[in-house]
Amino acid sequence: MNSFLKNIKKEFLIASRAGLEVLMPVMYLFIIMVFFNISISYVEKDIIVELIPLMVWISCLLICVLNLETIFKDDYDDGTLDMFVINDRYIERDIMAKVISHWTLSNLPVVIIAPVLSLILGLDVQTTYVLFITLLIGTPTMSLIGSIAAALTLSLKKNKILISIIVLPMYIPILIFGTSAVNNSYFGIGYESEILMMMIIFLIFLLVSPIACSKALKISLD
Amino acid sequence: MNNLLIQLKDISLSRNDKSIIRDMSLDINSSTVSNIYGHNGSGKTTLLKILTGITEPTSGEIINNIDQYGSFAYIGHKHGIKNNLTLNENLLYGDSENFYDQNMIDKVIDTYNMGKYKNYLAKNLSHGQQKKISLMKANISSSRIWVIDEPYSALDKDSVCIVDQSICDHIKSDGAVIMSNHELITNKPFNINNIEIN
């Protein structure tokens, strides 16, 4: 077992003992979807179906923002982050392990459940499939971007709103490409270029985020 | 023969125009124990953080002759352990770089008389027992320099003896220990270089 997998295993072990916390994002998705449907219940069914992908995307974006704070917070509070920053030769690799574990535990359940909910609400299979693909690329990108803001604001006591202010403008391109791809699929237009753009953004932040995070963590601990 | 591991030259640190450390020079040699003592707010913890590289000084020079990763085991005010992991798991997963075999972990647990609590979650242990886990983490690591903020706080008499023995063993193997306390420390089974900080 290499260090990368060891760190992921540790995160999963800790999460498995945190009780029902893992289910919270999915519960939150259910609640937002119910609220959306109640608020637009007077609208014609065809229009509601058109709005479902947008509802799902906004819900996933909000869920992603809400749990960004937790990426490094526990490590900062219990002091393990100090050792992590002092001695880690491959800090970027371990930051990646943390972000991947965070995404898998907080966002992947939502990425899986959201298309199922969309199908139940009447979205066609092809559009649901595109919705799933866009979420599968978009949510890890949002976690990567968010990890930088989470690291930067770590030492601040009330950092949740600040994280949202920092990351939300950076999420706009992902939201635009994600929702455009799904809408194009719904209206039978090509969506490949949008997905390609999302993949490019993902790859850029896959390279940039661990380096930026390591610098931000050092600043936060100073 | 003692080798110079770390040297601080005229280190100063200011925060918001307030001077916290002024022109501090310090040599840390191998096989030595240094106790940095002073009253609350004198900058002891800050100095330890400068030594480990967590905090950057405003001016001055730090010469690190063991410029290698994993050279520090740092135990700050926070214990650096995971509440939702057991004692054993904290030692097993505590170091993201190194892998320790179970025999080695069992040995250090026995040294600290914590065998009974091996499979207890850290959150269910007392403050002193949690402190012992963090000291065990330093023990098990291959770190040459132990930097410990108030190592004896929350420990009972027997545990203090175990920590002293661990420190003795560590300096015999060419390591160095830097600790901070509120007062001058004497009557220990090892020589201490007491350094007052104002």
Whether the CA torsion A135, A138, A144, A146 is positive or negative: it is negative
CB contact under 8 A, A85 and B54: yes
Q: Give me Rg for the CA atoms of chain A.
A: 18
User: What digits encode the pLDDT tens for the residues B33-90?
Assistant: 999 998 888 888 899 999 888 888 999 998 888 766 668 888 888 888 999 999 999 9
User: What digits encode the pLDDT tens for the residues A132-178?
Assistant: 999 999 999 999 999 999 999 988 877 788 899 999 999 999 999 99
User: What digits encode the pLDDT tens for the residues B83-126?
Assistant: 999 999 999 988 777 778 888 899 999 999 999 999 999 999 99
CB proximity A85 to B under 8 Å: yes
Query: Using CB atoms, which residue from B74, B79, B96 is nearest to A7?
Result: B96
Q: Which residue of A has its CA nearest to B57?
A: A222
**Concatenated DSSP letters of A97-112:** HHHHHHHHHHTHHHHH
Chain B positions with Cβ closer than 8 Å to A: 52-56, 69-74, 76-85, 89, 93-97, 99, 121, 143
Instruction: Look at residue B68 in the predicted model and tell me its pLDDT.
Output: 62
B47: number of Cβ within 10 Å: 25
| Residue A92 distance to chain B (closest CA, Å) | 12
pTM recorded for the entire structure: 0.88
- B159: which residues sit within 8 A by CB, 6+ positions away? B112, B128, B132
Q: Which of B137, B180, B134, B129 is nearest to B155 (CA)?
A: B129
CB contact under 8 A, A87 and B143: yes
Instruction: Look at residue A21 in the predicted model and tell me its pLDDT.
Output: 80
Query: Using CB atoms, which residue from A87, A94, A222 is nearest to B70?
Result: A87
Element (H, E) at B148: strand B145-149
CB contact under 8 A, B84 and A85: no
Query: Where do the structural domains in chain A lie, given as residue ranges?
Result: 3-221
The answer to whether residues A180 and A194 touch, using CB atoms and an 8 Å cutoff, is: yes
Residues in chain B with CB shorter than 8 Å from the CB of A83 are: 73-74, 80, 94-95
